[in-house]
Amino acid sequence: MQLGNWLWHYAWQAWQKQPAAVTTVRMVAVGQVGVAGAHKLYWISCNPSAGLSLWELTDAIAGGGVVVLDCYSTARETKQGVLSPPMQFSTGIYLETLTNVTGITFGYI
């Protein structure tokens, strides 16, 4: 008998157990989220400082990459999202743009 939550990894054609905990990082400026390398982004929470807020993520270790996930809001309201299945980053999670945002928090492994 196996307990816990499992997700199917379509590329590997295998089941993967979900983690019980993730690394949490809060960012207040653009840059590398945590350490470089392959990661899975499980959740994200954004606290805008004003309306017309924007954040963008790239799969990179430096600025100038192709945006793979972004969020734009016209109101000053907190946004939280759980990515299920988690989003795979192969090079690193890089916060490319952070406009009108007090802080953004990531949960990843």
Backbone angles phi, psi at 42, to 5 degrees: -95, -40
Q: From 87, 97, 93, 25, select the one nearest 55 (Cα to Cα).
A: 97
pLDDT digits (tens, 9 = 90+) for 31-53: 999 999 999 999 999 999 999 99
**pTM (whole model) above 0.75:** yes
Output the pLDDT for position 84.
86
What are the structural domains of the chain? Answer: 20-108 (2.60.120)
How many residues are present in the chain? 109
- CB-CB neighbours of 46 under 10 Å: 22
Res 12: pLDDT:
79
Residue 108 has pLDDT above 70, yes or no: yes
Percent of the chain whose predicted confidence (pLDDT) is above 70: 96
